[in-house]
Amino acid sequence: MLSHSTSVTIVGFGAFGRMIAAHLALHCAVSVYDRGLPPGQTPAQVRFLTGPQEICGDIVILAVPVQAVAECLREIAPHLRAGQMVVDVCSIKEEPARLMQAMLPEGVEILATHPMFGPASGRMGVAGLQIVLCPLQGKGWRRLAVFLRRGLKLDVIVTTPEEHDRQAAMSQGLIHLLAHAVQTWGERPTIRTKSYDLFAEALAMVRDDAPEVFEAITQRNSHVATLREHLLQTMGPRPLAPLE
Amino acid sequence: MLSHSTSVTIVGFGAFGRMIAAHLALHCAVSVYDRGLPPGQTPAQVRFLTGPQEICGDIVILAVPVQAVAECLREIAPHLRAGQMVVDVCSIKEEPARLMQAMLPEGVEILATHPMFGPASGRMGVAGLQIVLCPLQGKGWRRLAVFLRRGLKLDVIVTTPEEHDRQAAMSQGLIHLLAHAVQTWGERPTIRTKSYDLFAEALAMVRDDAPEVFEAITQRNSHVATLREHLLQTMGPRPLAPLE
Is residue B120 a contact partner of residue B17, using CB atoms and an 8 Å limit?
no
Can you tell me the mean pLDDT for A222-238? 82
In this complex, which of A114, A205, A211 lies closest to B243 when CB atoms are compared? A211
Cβ contact A129–B177 (<8 Å): no
Cβ contact A167–B189 (<8 Å): yes
Q: Which chain A residues are within 8 Å of B215, Cβ to Cβ? A: 242
What is the largest distance, in Å, between two alpha-carbon atoms of chain A? 64
Query: To which H or E segment does residue B145 belong?
Result: helix B141-146
Top residue of B191, B199, B220 to mutate, by most chain A CBs within 10 Å, is: B191
Rg (CA), chain A: 20
A231 falls in which pLDDT band (50, 70, 90)? Answer: confident
Could you give the CA distance from residue B102 to residue B136 in angstroms, rounded to a whole number? 11
Chain B: closest CA distance from residue A44 (Å): 31
Residue A165 has pLDDT above 50, yes or no: yes
Is residue A95 a contact partner of residue A67, using CB atoms and an 8 Å limit?
no
Question: What is the tens place of the pLDDT at every residue in A110-159?
Answer: 999 999 998 888 888 999 999 999 999 999 999 999 999 999 999 999 99
pLDDT of residue A72: 97
A40 falls in which pLDDT band (50, 70, 90)? Answer: low
Inter-CA distances, B134 with A159, B37, B58, B130, B193, Å: 54, 29, 18, 13, 40
Q: Which chain B residues are within 8 Å of A185, Cβ to Cβ? A: 170, 230, 234
In this complex, which of A175, A193, A212 lies closest to B196 when CB atoms are compared? A175
Chain A: closest CA distance from residue B63 (Å): 19
> Which chain B residue has the Cα nearest residue A178?
B235
Whole-complex ipTM: 0.87
Chain A: closest CA distance from residue B7 (Å): 29
In this complex, which of B199, B211, B231 lies closest to A175 when CB atoms are compared? B199
pLDDT of residue A43: 67
Can you tell me the mean pLDDT for A92-103? 98
In this complex, which of B159, B171, B181 lies closest to A231 when CB atoms are compared? B181
Tens of each residue's pLDDT in chain B, 244 residues: 677 789 999 999 999 999 999 999 989 999 999 988 766 666 667 889 999 999 999 999 999 999 999 999 999 999 999 999 999 999 999 999 999 999 999 999 999 999 999 888 888 899 999 999 999 999 999 999 999 999 999 999 999 999 999 999 999 999 999 999 998 888 899 999 899 999 999 999 998 888 899 999 999 999 999 888 888 888 865 544 554 4
User: How many interface pairs between A and B have CB atoms less than 8 angstroms apart?
Assistant: 183
Cβ contact B189–A168 (<8 Å): yes
Cβ contact A167–B192 (<8 Å): yes
Chain A: closest CA distance from residue B117 (Å): 6
Q: Please report the DSSP string for A179-223 in residue order.
A: HHHHHHH----SS--HHHHHHHHHHHHHHTS-HHHHHIIIII-TH
Cβ contact B192–A230 (<8 Å): no
Cβ contact B205–A198 (<8 Å): yes
pLDDT of residue A234: 83
- CA dihedral sign, ordered B169, B172, B177, B182: positive
Is residue A20 a contact partner of residue A61, using CB atoms and an 8 Å limit?
yes
Cβ contact A203–B195 (<8 Å): yes
Residue A222 has pLDDT above 90, yes or no: yes
pLDDT of residue B43: 67
Question: What is the tens place of the pLDDT at every residue in A171-191?
Answer: 999 999 999 999 888 889 999
Query: Residue B157 burial (CB < 10 Å; 0-12/13-18/19+)?
Result: middle
Q: Which of A71-75, A239-243, B18-22, B36-40 has the lowest mean pLDDT?
A: A239-243
Query: Which of the pair, A84 or A121, is modelled with greater confidence?
Result: A84
Cβ contact A170–B185 (<8 Å): yes
Chain A: closest CA distance from residue B231 (Å): 6
Cis bond before residue A237 (omega within 30° of 0): yes
Chain A: closest CA distance from residue B51 (Å): 32
State the helix-helix crossing angle for A194-207 and A174-185, rounded to 10 degrees.
100
Local structure of A44: helix, strand or coil? coil
In this complex, which of B114, B211, B240 lies closest to A180 when CB atoms are compared? B240
Could you give the CA distance from residue B227 to residue B233 in angstroms, rounded to a whole number? 10
| β-pairing verdict for B29-33 and B109-115 | unpaired
Query: Could you give the domains of chain B?
Result: 7-159 (3.40.50.720), 163-233 (no CATH)
User: Mean pLDDT for chain A?
Assistant: 91
Cβ contact A230–B164 (<8 Å): no
